[in-house]
Amino acid sequence: MNDRRRDCSVDLPHVFYWGLAMSDANNTPSFEAKLAELEALVRQMEQGSMPLDTSLDAFEKGVQLAKECHAILDSASQKVTEIKQSGEQAPFDPEA
């Protein structure tokens, strides 16, 4: 199966998104890039023309991408909550 997974990258064309930024200096794909890759996988799988083992590999990759996107969204949500809470403790003073 490992040999088959190596071939999966050939069966599933990698989509490069020019306008999507990397999230940090380590070249980690941004949320938007991960989401775009997930959407591309879903479109390919919905066509129904992939062999079963290729579909399973694509599904596995999709689940991983979905988890990564969810973790990024959770982190962003936590930051928003922290910002809102800090604003409640120190009300905005436009004259300051």
Give the tens place of pLDDT for each residue, 28-83.
889 999 999 999 999 999 999 999 999 999 999 999 999 999 999 999 999 999 98
pLDDT at position 18 over 70: no
Residues contacting 34, CB < 8 A, separation 6+: 65, 68, 69, 72
DSSP 8-state code for residue 16: P
Q: What are the residue ranges spanned by the domains of the chain?
A: 1-13+31-74
Which residue has tokens 């596995």? 60
pLDDT of residue 62: 97
